[in-house]
Amino acid sequence: PAHILGIRAAQQAFPELPQVAVFDTAFHQTMPPHAYQYAIPSTLYTRYGVRRYGAHGTSYRFVAQETAAFLQRDINDMSMIIAHLGNGASITAVKNGCSQDTSMGLTPLEGLVMGTRCGDIDPSIFSFLASNANMSIEQITEMLNKESGLLGLSDLSNDCRTLEEAAANGHKGAILALEVFAYRLAKYVGAMMVACGSLDALVFT
């Protein structure tokens, strides 16, 4: 919705100016079916498009090209794992310049621990919290997206600068949040090795 507001504002201000949409999911369209399909009834994919789409694609395309140039290698003969780390975080396996797998899914909630997003979680948490905490689907979705991740674990902040300072001063929540963040990332690096098959570069942004 925020992007659409921007598009409409630009149309009003510059009616003759062409606009180009660059989709964050486009880079991941090279993922094979075994990487993007969920293990759910296939009709949900064919009817509703329920699959893994990924995000941060414009970043990954740029970083992959820059990595190859920096290493003076042919991008079409390289395997790399790129970790896009920030308040929104993901990781992608790139082989021969193409995305092979990525951590985000149908939405940006899947995958790594992020600033306020939980990342991978048991889907049954919805029914559990609905039954035990009397929370609605909307409330749980809001909590998993905006009150979880580093913020939820630390009970302090979603900003790594704040957490690193607090951890250095012995704040247990900050220490745990950073440890979970790093552990989940390390597990995903190992998982992306499967998608790459080999590794020429491990890149952090």
Angstrom distance (rounded) from CA 125 to CA 140: 9
pLDDT given at position 183: 98
Q: For 109-132, write each residue's pLDDT tens digit.
A: 999 999 999 999 999 999 999 999
The answer to the question of residue 103 being in a domain is yes
Residue 24 lies in a domain: yes
Q: Are 97 and 75 in contact (CB under 8 A)?
A: yes
Spatial distance between the Cα atoms of 59 and 205, rounded to a whole number of angstroms? 9
**CATH classification of the domain holding 75:** 3.30.420.40
Chain centroid to CA 172: how far? 26
**Cα–Cα distance measured from residue 118 to residue 112, given in angstroms and rounded to the nearest whole number:** 8
Q: Is residue 13 part of a domain?
A: no
Residues of the chain with pLDDT under 50: none
Question: How confident is the model at residue 85, as a pLDDT?
Answer: 97
The tokens for 128 are: 């559990």
In a domain, 150, yes or no: yes
Per the domain annotation, does 10 fall within a domain? no
What range defines the domain where residue 95 resides? 20-204
**Closest by CA position to 68, among listed 28, 95, 103:** 95
Please report where in the chains the tokens 């790139």 appear, as a residue. 94
CB 89 within 8 A of CB 113: yes
Tell whether 9 is covered by a domain.
no
Q: Report the number of distinct structural domains present in the chain.
A: 1
Residue 126's pLDDT is what?
Answer: 97
How far apart are the C-alpha atoms of 141 and 154, rounded to whole Å?
19
Q: Which position among 24, 120, 159, 200 bears the catalytic label?
A: 24
At residue 103, the pLDDT reads 98
5 belongs to a structural domain: no
Please give the Cα distance from 178 to 104 (Å, whole number): 20
* pLDDT 10s digits, 77-86: 999 999 999 9
Asked whether residue 129 is assigned to any structural domain, the reply reads yes
Distance CA 42, CA 48 (A): 10
Q: What whole-number distance in Å separates Cα of residue 186 and Cα of residue 64?
A: 20
Active-site residue flag, 24? yes
